[in-house]
Amino acid sequence: MARSDVFSLLLLLLLAAAAADAGTVKSFKEEKRNVGDQIWSLSLDASTSKSSDMAALHENLDVLHYSSDSVTIFVRKTRLSITKEFLEGRHLAYNVVEKDVALHLQSLQAAEDAVAISRAAESCKEGQCPRPYKQDYMTFEQMEWFLRDLESQYPDNVKLSTEGKSREGRNIYLVRVFQSSASAARSSGSVSSRGQPRPAVFIDGGIHAREWIAPATVLNMLMKQTENCAANTDCDYEYYFMPMMNPDGYEYTWTNDRFWRKNRSPPPLKNDCFGTDLNRNWNPQWGNIGSSSNTCKEIYRGTTPFSEPETTSAKNVMTRIANNPELDLLVYLSYHSFGQLVLYPWGYTSDLAPTKADLEKGGNVYNNALKGVHNVPYVVQQAAELYPASGASDDFAYSLPIKYVYTVELRNTRSFLLPRNEIALTFEENYAGYMALLKHATSQSN
C-alpha cells in the first residue's frame, strides 16, 4: 500500500472513532459535569484580607477569584458541609452564586452555541479531521490530530516527538520548530554558521487542566511560528512547544469536572484523593510555602519532587535543551489562566531574584507589545507578590538557569470559562508579546 493510502486508511479509522464518540462524551446538550457543585462568594473585611489569612484561604479552599473585599470559591458537592464549617469557624459570611455548576455550564454553552460556530466533533463527519484552533477549544484527541497534521504539512520545519506518557498513558508531546536546512544554508552569516549557539525558547501550556485558554493559545502560537519559519521570516530561534502538559486532567475537564486543576494520579491510600498539582511538583524549593502535603488539596505537591510523569517529561526536555552546547536556552514561557498577569521569579519567596531588573524589563517588553494589540491591560509583577507558591515550573526554569522566565496568566480577570470568541484575541496579543520578548532577549545577549 502506498504511504498516502495508509495515511488515508488511518484517517478514516480516526474519523470513524471520532464520529462514534461525538454523540456521547463531547455533547454538551445534557451537561453531566459538576452536577451539584456550587460557586460561592465570601465577603472580606479589612481584618480578613491580610496575606496570612489569604494563604489559609488558598490552602483550604479552591479560590477562583479574589479582590480586596470578596473571594469567589468553587465548592464540590462532596465538600459543601466541610466548607460551610470552615467558613463559619472563621466567621466569614458567604452567599451561593451558582447553586448547580452543571446548569451554569449548560447555560453558558447554550449562549455560545447561539453564536453559531459548529462544534468541532460534529464537522469531523464531513471527512476532514477538524482543527478549529482559532475558533474553539479542542479536545485532547483533536490536539493530537492537529499536531500530526502540522508535522506532515511542514516536514522541513516541524518535528513532533513523544517525551513520555502521562499517568493514564496519554502522550506528552514536544514540537520542535526550526528553520529548514535549505533556508539555513541560504542565510549566510546566520548565528549557527558563526559557530555560536542558536537561541532557544521553551513554551508550555495546560499544566492546570481547567485553564483551557492556555493550551489553545500555545497551539495558535505554534501554528503561527511554524508559518513564519516556513516563510523564512522571524525564525532565528529553535522553538520548543509542549502545548499540553496535563492531558489526563484536561480530558477529565471535558468528561467529568470542568473545574479540575491537577493531574489524575490515583490516591496513595484509600481515603486520599486523586491528583497532584503539577505546578507544585518541581524543584528547587519543593515542599515549602504555598503547597500542601494533603492529597485532597488543590495545591497537593506530590510525594517527592518530580513524582509525576508529566513534570518529569518536561524537566527532562528542558534540561536536555539547556545542556545542548549548540543551543542557548534564553526564554521560558508557561501559559496559565486567568488574571492577565506577566509573572517572573521568584514564586516561592518575596525575596528578589538576583536578576530582577532584567526579568522586569523583559516582562515590560512583553506587556507593552501585548497592550499595543487590543489594549487589554495585563500587570507585570513578581510571582510571589500574587501569593507565594513553591515547587512551580518557573522557579525551576530560572534555576536551570534560563535568563527570561515568565508565567503568563491569560484572559480574563474573572473566570476559567473564557468564551471561545476570545481565543484568537488572546493569541494575537500574546504572540506580539512573545515576538517582542524574543527579539529583546537576543539583542541583550549579543
What lies within 8 Å, CB to CB, of 283 at 6+ separation is: 305, 306, 391, 396, 399
User: What are the grid coordinates assigned to 178, written together?
Assistant: 526550526
Contact flag: residue 440 with Zn ion (CB under 5 A)? no
Site for Zn ion in 52-71 (CB under 5 A): none
What lies within 8 Å, CB to CB, of 135 at 6+ separation is: 117, 420, 423, 424
The angle at the Cα of 284, spanning 286 to 445, to the nearest 5 degrees, equals 145
Q: Which is nearer to Zn ion, 130 or 363 (CB)?
A: 363
- Nearest by Cα to 34 from 106, 85, 97: 106
Q: Which is nearer to Zn ion, 226 or 311 (CB)?
A: 311
Question: Is 141 among the residues known to form the active site?
Answer: no
Residue with cell 489524575: 264
Secondary structure E strands in 232-296 = 238-242
Q: Which is nearer to Zn ion, 178 or 260 (CB)?
A: 260
Q: Give the number of other Cβ atoms within 10 Å of residue 274's Cβ.
A: 18
Contact flag: residue 198 with Zn ion (CB under 5 A)? no
The least CB distance from residue 208 to Zn ion, in Å, is 3
Pair 335, 204: CB distance under 8 Å: yes
Q: Which is nearer to Zn ion, 336 or 403 (CB)?
A: 336
Site for Zn ion in 311-350 (CB under 5 A): 336
User: What are the grid coordinates assigned to 253, written together?
Assistant: 475537564
Contact flag: residue 208 with Zn ion (CB under 5 A)? yes
Share of the chain residues as helix, strand and coil, in percent rounded to the nearest 5: 40, 15, 40
Q: Which is nearer to Zn ion, 106 or 253 (CB)?
A: 253
Q: How many residues bind Zn ion (CB under 5 A)?
A: 2
The least CB distance from residue 74 to Zn ion, in Å, is 14
Contact flag: residue 262 with Zn ion (CB under 5 A)? no
- Nearest by Cα to 256 from 134, 76, 57, 62: 76
Give the rounded distance of the alpha carbon of 61 from its chain centre.
Answer: 21
Q: Which is nearer to Zn ion, 199 or 215 (CB)?
A: 215
- Nearest by Cα to 105 from 41, 25, 28: 28
The least CB distance from residue 241 to Zn ion, in Å, is 17
Q: Which is nearer to Zn ion, 131 or 208 (CB)?
A: 208
User: What are the grid coordinates assigned to 359, written together?
Assistant: 526579568
DSSP, collapsed to helix, strand or coil, labels residue 124 as: helix
Q: Contact region for Zn ion (CB under 5 A) — 18-26, 86-94, 207-215, 433-441?
A: 207-215
The least CB distance from residue 347 to Zn ion, in Å, is 12
Q: Contact region for Zn ion (CB under 5 A) — 136-144, 206-214, 223-231, 412-420?
A: 206-214
Contact flag: residue 411 with Zn ion (CB under 5 A)? no
Q: Which is nearer to Zn ion, 409 or 429 (CB)?
A: 409
Pair 353, 398: CB distance under 8 Å: yes
Contact flag: residue 280 with Zn ion (CB under 5 A)? no
The least CB distance from residue 279 to Zn ion, in Å, is 6
| DSSP string of 70-104, one letter each residue | EEEEEE-GGGHHHHHHHHHHTT--EEEEES-HHHH
Contact flag: residue 210 with Zn ion (CB under 5 A)? no
The least CB distance from residue 388 to Zn ion, in Å, is 15
Q: Which of 251, 308, 409, 429 is catalytic?
A: 409
User: What are the grid coordinates assigned to 383, written together?
Assistant: 510571582
> Which residues are bridge partners to 242 per DSSP?
204
User: What are the grid coordinates assigned to 226, written together?
Assistant: 511554524
The least CB distance from residue 301 to Zn ion, in Å, is 15
- Nearest by Cα to 278 from 253, 254, 249, 240: 249
Q: Contact region for Zn ion (CB under 5 A) — 33-41, 78-86, 106-114, 200-208?
A: 200-208
The least CB distance from residue 267 to Zn ion, in Å, is 22
Pair 338, 410: CB distance under 8 Å: yes
Task: Give catalytic residue positions.
Answer: 409
Binding site for Zn ion (CB under 5 A): 208, 336
